[in-house]
Amino acid sequence: MVGSKKKPNKSSERSHKPHIKKKLNPFEVHINREKLKVLGKKNKNDRGLPGVSREKALKKRKHTLQQEFKLHNKANRFVDKRIGEGDVNMTEEDRFIARYAKLKSKHHKKSIFNLADEEVLTHKGQALSEIEKFEDTKSDDDESIEGDKIGNLDENFVDEAHFGGGVLKRTGIDGAKSHKDLIDQLIAESKKRKAEKQKLKEETLELTEKLDSEWKDLLPLVNKTKSTKATPELEKADEYDKTVKQLKFEARGTPSDRLKSEDEIAKEEREKLEQLEKETTADDLEDNFAYESDTEVTLSYNQEGEANLVLEAELNGKTILPKNDDKENEGSDEDDKESVSEEESEAEDDLSDLKGSESVSESENEYFSTNTEDKIKPEAIRDDLLKRKEIMDKAREELPYTYKFPASYEELQLLLQFESSERQFMILERLIKCNHPSLGSNNKENLNLLFAYLLQYINDIAEVKTIEDISKCFSTFSNLVPHIFNLAEMSPLNAHTLVLDVLKEKHQCYRKHKLAYPDIEVLLFLKLVSCVFPTSDFRHVVVTPAIVFIDQMLNKCKVRTRRDIAYGLFLTTLVLEYTTLAKRFLPSAINFLKGILHMAIPKAGIKLIKICPPFKTSSNALVLCNNCNESTISLTMNVSYLLNGEIDDEFKMRAIYLSSCLLKEFVTNFAELDSSYEIFSTIMEYINAIPMNNYPVEVKEKFKSLEEEINRIKSNRRLKYLTVAKPKPKALRLYEPRIEKVYDTKKRRIESREKAEQNKLLHKLKRERKGALREIRRDNAFISRLRINEQIQSDNVRKAKVRKLLSDASIQQSELNTLDRKKKRKK
């Protein structure tokens, strides 16, 4: 179709364009008159070339439609398959070349059967390919250049012999020689020369070869002289250059063992444990000990890749000395063991120099990585080390090194329940190492499960009745915390959801009895939250609900018994721990401490000292009646007070001491707050109302410092009147060009983007259809014109034929008539 938007070929376009421009006939241009003139509006359709475009369309139709029409109703047709015939790009010459190339290639098509038909180019009978190796150059040119002279006869000789010399030269002497002699002489001469030449040539060849070989011998000598020339130059180079060179080529870092990835470390640790396990089981075979994980051990391999069985045999073959010493003598390759042995020996030798070896042992010790930055007193370190040594000893003696993952919570409980807290620490450590996520695909899930189990375990150990129980519970807890933290690190999301679930559950329990403090495990969980999660965040998924929980308890729960007081104090300590870093303020904690102080004020009948609930205005529970001036007990609070019991003087002192300590911390924390003095002002009243005589000196001092602190806040504070931040000054008005909106009369419908798109497409479709119809109409007109032309042509032909026939007939008739007439005349 004509209307198709095929791009015309570029070359033809290029050739056409200047052509049209040149031929722009002013009579052909039709100018479209504008009804309204708009300034700056670009009009594409201001002029048209009707004639040109019509001609173009006609031409196109001729090429397409007419051709098609011609072939209309034809069963077959001629196709021009000559090369390059349909291609417009090719010139006539190109076509010829292409055709010729095709022909040639066809001609040269190699037949696989015709072997002889190979064209080999030769030079002097040799194939070019052979010559081109250029192996022996000399032979050829020698012959070619000198061949004429050598092979052929002398010039004079030829002159004389062939042409007889001349008239003048014919003398008697010469003439004496017969012709035969002459020929013989000629041949001999020629042969002699050839032989000479040959000899000479061979000699030179020989000499050349000799020279070549000698040159090769000489070559190293030549090189040597060159190198000896270079070295003195290097020596001459000055110091600066040397150092630069040195620095340049200096090794920047020595290759060493790369850092081990976490996975590798985990794997190594596990292997180590297995190794240790293997050895202990080997020992235990002697001691008639049996462990659960015995079977697992047989599967393990030591670090050298030796099977376990072999090693056992070896050990069994040996006479095993008392365990520890034996192993130390063996110098086992385990790092931690070494460190232990070091510790041991040093502990035995001299305890005082342990401090020096602290860093060494600690760096080697992988089990307890305490932060050395912490200011730990040397005594504490020593105690620590001693304790650890004991732990290690014990653990090594009795604990298996590898653990299967417990299938259920009960199994884990069984594993841990009856062990001491330190040993629980070890067991868990090994359990986690053996099940590190990098060691197995489902270990991650297992550890998630272990996390849940541990939370349950904490819940269970908190069911305590006696003082021993509670201290064990807390020490166990403190041993569990690092592991829980590790586990949480491995899958933080899991830790969040689990701890949050626990909090939810505990809060649900608490809701049933809002006025009583819940059980001790709640304290443990809240402490755990502060250990595992960041307490300084403004809002945290787990920590915030925990604070809400604490806040609620401190606000609501009645404070009557010793347990209540201790529980509340523990919570307040927790609040301090939660809020210290971000210096956040929780009123209920301060209220609670106020209440504790209030309890220590002896209430006279008339004067009421106010206190917020949940405390009672008349409570005298903590009033210290006996004189404890001389008491020397440690004033640190004890967790055992969390159990039910009587309020004794010791407890009273400790509670008051603890609350004053906490208050002091709070005071320093909140010193920056605007209303800090208002928060603590009532405390001053309470402190003044507490009779100090009965308390020990330490408490008195604490109170005094607390009082001073509050006074300091009062005197130091500078209250800035609150002001709202001033709004930014408005920018001056700028004289920008005033832009007016132009309203055109076109109505623009407000419609959605999809709808607008669709309308646009519909509009386009309409226009396209119109255009197509127009084209079809023109096509029809073209074809009918063709038909009519054809008709007219055929009619004309027919007419001509008829005319011719008629004229022939009339001629014939006329001839007949003339004949007739003649006949008549003859008659």
Q: Site residues for other proteins, window 317-376 (CB under 8 A)?
A: 368-371, 374, 376
Judged by CB under 8 A, which of 408, 634, 711, 810 binds other proteins? 634
User: How far is C-alpha 355 from the chain's CA centre?
Assistant: 45
Run of H or E residues at 504: helix 492-512
Establish if 130 lies at the interface with other proteins (CB under 8 A): no
* CB of 321 or CB of 608, closer to other proteins: 608
Using CB under 8 A as the binding rule, the residues of this chain from 664 to 703 that contact other proteins are 665, 673-676, 678-679
Bridge-based pairing state of the strands 47-48 and 122-123:
unpaired
Q: Using the minimum distance from each CB to other proteins, give the nearer residue, 65 or 601.
A: 601
461, 477 Cβ separation under 8 angstroms = yes
DSSP 8-state assignment for residue 743: P
Residue 650 binds other proteins (CB under 8 A): no
Count Cα atoms within 13 angstroms, Cβ side, for 710: 21
Shortest Å, Cβ 352 to other proteins: 22
Question: At closest approach, how far in Å is the CB of 399 from other proteins?
Answer: 17
Sole binder of other proteins in the list 95, 389, 540, 558 (CB under 8 A): 540
What is the nearest approach in angstroms of other proteins to the Cβ of residue 663?
12
- Binding to other proteins (CB under 8 A) within 501-530 occurs at 504, 507, 511, 527, 530
CB of 497 to other proteins, least distance (A): 9
If DSSP codes are grouped into helix, strand and coil, which group holds residue 30? strand
Q: Using CB under 8 A as the criterion, what x/- string covers residues 472-491 for binding other proteins? A: --xx--xx-xx--x--xx--
Task: Give 495's contacts (C-beta < 8 A, 6+ positions apart).
Answer: 451, 484, 487, 488, 532
How does 88-113 read in b/e, with b if 16+ C-beta sit within 10 Å? eeeeeeeeeeeeeeeeeeeeeeeeee
CB 456 within 8 A of CB 480: no
Q: 275 or 573: whose CB is closer to other proteins?
A: 573
**Which of 128, 321, 548, 697 is in the footprint of other proteins by CB under 8 A?**
548
* Binding status of residue 545 toward other proteins by CB under 8 A: yes
Distance CA 441, CA 129 (A): 68
Cβ contacts of 543 within 8 Å, gap of 6 or more: 529, 530, 533, 534, 535, 537, 578
Closer Cβ to other proteins, 388 or 396, answer by number: 388
> What are the b/e assignments for 450-465, b being 16+ CB within 10 Å?
bbbbbbebbbebbebe
Region from 29-37, 157-165, 339-347, 655-663 binding other proteins, contact rule CB under 8 A: 655-663
Nearer to other proteins, 434 or 503 (CB): 503
Size of the site for other proteins (CB under 8 A): 94
Q: Is 280 in the site for other proteins (CB under 8 A)?
A: no
CA separation for the pair 108, 118 (Å, rounded): 10
Smaller CB separation from other proteins, 470 or 622: 470
Residue 114 touches other proteins, criterion: CB under 8 A: no
**Interaction with other proteins in 407-466: which residues (CB under 8 A)?**
425
| Beta carbon of residue 335, minimum distance to other proteins (angstroms, whole number) | 19
**Cβ proximity to other proteins, 290 vs 722, nearer residue:** 722
Q: Are residues 386 and 347 in contact, defined by beta-carbon separation less than 8 angstroms?
A: yes
Nearer to other proteins, 392 or 576 (CB): 576
Distance CA 122, CA 131 (A): 9
Query: Which residues have CB under 8 Å from 685's CB, separation 6+?
Result: 609
What does the alpha-carbon distance between residue 655 and residue 598 come to, in Å, rounded to a whole number? 12
The residues with which 475 forms a beta bridge, in sequence order, are none
Question: Which is closer to other proteins, CB of 65 or CB of 710?
Answer: 710
- Give residues 379-398 in contact with other proteins (rule: CB under 8 A): 384
Phi, psi (rounded to 5 degrees) for 127 = -70, 140
Stretch that binds other proteins, among 21-29, 191-199, 355-363, 607-615 (CB under 8 A): 607-615
Q: Please report whether residue 591 would count as binding other proteins according to CB under 8 A.
A: yes
**For residues 275 and 535, which CB has a smaller minimum distance to other proteins in the complex?**
535
Residue 9 found at the interface with other proteins (CB under 8 A): no
Which tokens sit at 819? 């004949």
Asked if 661 touches other proteins (CB under 8 A), the answer is yes
Spatial contact of 526 and 574, defined as CB atoms under 8 Å apart = yes
Contact 657, 699 (CB under 8 A): yes
The residue among 297 and 590 lying less far from other proteins, judged by its C-beta, is 590
Residue 655 binds other proteins, judged by CB under 8 A: no
What does the alpha-carbon distance between residue 175 and residue 152 come to, in Å, rounded to a whole number? 24
CB of 531 to other proteins, least distance (A): 4
Instruction: Out of 427, 557, 559, 575, point to the residue binding other proteins (CB under 8 A).
Output: 575
Establish if 492 lies at the interface with other proteins (CB under 8 A): yes
Angstrom distance (rounded) from CA 341 to CA 334? 11
